[in-house]
A and B are shown apart, each in its own frame.
Chain A
Amino acid sequence: MSDQQEKMRQGAEKLLQNEEVGYVIGWGTTRFADRTTPIFIDTPAAASDFVWNEYAVNSLAKYLLDDKYPDKKIGVFVRGCESRALNRMLKDKQVKRENLYLIGTPCDGKKAGRCSLCRERNPLLYDVLLWEPVPNVPAEGRFDRVRAIEAMTPDERYGYWGAVYDKCIRCYACRNACPVCSCRECYVDMSRTGFQGKQHSRSDNQIFGVTRAFHVGDRCIECGECERVCPMDLPIMGQTQKILKDINELAGEYECGLDAESENFLGAFDLDDKDEFM
């Protein structure tokens, strides 16, 4: 791993030296050895601040939305999950490929629950690959927990989600961390419209949960960032994955972010659609 870390530091240093990028996004240390934080390095000398260890859990893709019109390219380390997020962001026209310099870093899995579902450890798109791809580990039980929820009676299910959203503090960390959640203004922040009450109640919390699930469900790359960041440890991927499972069952195999061309299921339309409505 330290060998890879060295390659990352050198790679970033060179890009900054040659002024190919304005800055590079990666991981840096914190006070605690088992935690890293996203860092944004803009001088060659500071490239030695990058770290790469089993605690580099934060996804970096979302930070690209903070700088949509950069003067120079943005360098960013990409693993499988970042690349899938990028595919989706490219398709959704949230970022421009020519603004990015993607430094591929195949990943062995980090110490995070979100990595347990990972099926694509190698970056699917990159400008340079820093080391050899790693074998993917077949992830078992993709929809197991959705099945468990489906097996409940309607009352049990209502009780289950009610209890989950009673605990939600509506901090919106799940929304803000999600790489495919990209509206310029979220309906949540339009409190005067009455779409969703600002009060913290079971019903308004659930409205948030359901709306979030529908807004990202068919574009969800199953990266697990939403659950990682939730301070209340709520199992909210049970909702987004329900949508993915339904799509899989209705329309065949479906997975997001594997390329930058595929339409998202609920966003696809055809002008010659036989159905007049929609």
Chain B
Amino acid sequence: MELKKEKLPEALALLQSDARLFLPAEADGLPQFTVWDGKQAPCLSGNPPLPPKDVLFPRSEKMYGYNLSTGDVADLASPEKQVIFGIRPCDVKSIEKLDRAFLEKGYADSYYRTRREQLTTLSLGCTEAARTCFCESMGLDPADAPGADLMLNDAGDAFSVKSNSEKGEAVLARWGKLLTEDADKDAKGAGKDVSVHCAFKVDLPADLPERLTARFEDPAWAALSRACLGCGCCSYICPTCYCFDIGQENRGAEGTAFRCWDSCMFSDYSRMAGGHNPRPSKRERLRNRYLHKLAYFNERYGTTLCVGCGRCVDKCPAHLDITKVIETVGGER
């Protein structure tokens, strides 16, 4: 099926009629996933500096409210229907990774699950790879996101459209007469004929997790961490980083429990009661971040916690690079 590009505003309006619709657009001078105002033109090239992670995992989220004198507790989870249009295959893959962390291994995070169940993803295949994109090396296809509910690919004056799920079928049904049959059945699209490749490649050895864990005390960690500023930039712009903190805010007898993003690169993240910090310096913190992404997550879930979106490579103020970590610590010895 195809959706003519001129029909896009209409198609978006249909999505928006019963859900909150996020799409990449220029807002406040910055391309970002933003709630569509019904008029904005979506950015159809490139990927915004911040992933749409906070649609599922908000930067700050009120969990429940309570009253200390009455003992009342109220769940503040919001079961709102949400749609993301224009999410790239790397960010779709990152949601699959978050699913593993939040929903598997015997405990499902109810706040995440509610949002996840209510979310529909409409992915847009990439037509060009930025110089920092290395998703192909992480096993992805820049033009196909099997985990998206609906996959769209650029086919000239139209998007080719392919559904991957019931939610995707529902979108197709709703778009109904906006859709047309493929003009050219052999045209590239829906991942059939990938014409986009990442120029940026990294060799990912099959035994990388074992190598990295075995090199826990390797001096390369200290060397790599020296330029690091210990900020939270890389973890906050990463679509797969999911650490959070939980806190309370009280006003008299009333209070709310919230959770908010946190970063393992911060010094207070691992500080314990009494002041002891098992990760006292940048070396331990940086090592932990990369071991989590490239070894610990693999041990637990059999997959890497990095999708190769390249955001951290692009934005790190010290110009550190996860692929350099892979090569330096994980390389052949």
Contact = CB atoms under 8 A, between A and B. Distances in A.
Contacts of B258: 199
User: How big is the B interface, by class?
Assistant: 35 or more
User: How big is the A interface, by class?
Assistant: 35 or more
A169 B227 contact: no
Given A31-B324, A176-B229, A231-B237, A199 B319 contact: no
Given A32-B131, A37-B320, A233 B30 contact: yes
B258 to A, nearest CB: 6
B330 interface: no
Given A189-B266, A198-B247, A176 B230 contact: yes
Contact of B323 (A31, A35, A233): A31
Given A170-B232, A199-B260, A200-B261, A31 B226 contact: no
A229 B229 contact: yes
A191 interface: yes
Interface stretch (A58-66, A126-134, A142-150, A267-275): A58-66
A38 B232 contact: no
B324 A62 contact: no
Contact of B319 (A58, A189, A190, A233): A58
B317 A172 contact: no
A207 interface: no
A56 B124 CA distance: 37
A191 B248 CA distance: 11
Interface string B92-113: 0000000000000000000000
A39 B49 CA distance: 26
Contacts of B200: 31
Contacts of A38: 226-227, 318
A66 B49 contact: no
A101 interface: no
B249 interface: yes
Given A199-B247, A231-B315, A39 B260 contact: no
A110 interface: no
B59 interface: yes
Interface string B301-333: 000000000000101011111011000000000
Interface in A193-243: 197-201, 228-229, 231-233
Nearest to B268: A189
Interface in B240-268: 245, 247, 249, 258, 260-263, 266-268
Contacts of B282: 66
A127 B171 CA distance: 69
A169 B236 contact: yes
B268 A191 contact: yes
Contact of A30 (B267, B268, B321): B321
A154 to B, nearest CB: 20
Contact of B232 (A31, A37, A172, A233): A172
Given A58-B319, A199-B60, A171 B324 contact: no
A167 B258 CA distance: 20
B233 A231 contact: yes
A32 B315 CA distance: 13
Contact of A66 (B226, B267, B323): B226
A95 interface: no
B109 to A, nearest CB: 18
B207 interface: no
B231 interface: yes
A200 B260 contact: yes
Nearest to B61: A199
Interface in B140-177: none
B50 interface: yes
A62 B229 contact: yes
A16 interface: no
Contact of B233 (A30, A37, A171, A233): A171
A58 B226 contact: no
B28 interface: yes
B231 A37 contact: no
Nearest to B226: A40
A171 B231 contact: yes
B231 A229 contact: yes
A224 to B, nearest CB: 12
A173 interface: yes
A37 B319 contact: yes
Contacts of A170: 232, 236
A189 B30 contact: no
Given A38-B226, A198-B245, A231-B49, A177 B232 contact: no
A35 B131 CA distance: 13
B201 to A, nearest CB: 11
A36 interface: yes
A62 B315 CA distance: 19
Contacts of B247: 191, 197-199
Among all A-B residue pairs, the 7 with the closest Cβ atoms: A229-B317, A173-B231, A200-B59, A171-B232, A176-B229, A37-B319, A189-B268
10 contacts: A30-B321, A63-B227, A171-B263, A172-B231, A176-B229, A198-B260, A199-B258, A200-B261, A201-B60, A228-B317
Given A31-B324, A39-B227, A171-B236, 4 more contacts: A35-B319, A171-B232, A189-B268, A229-B233
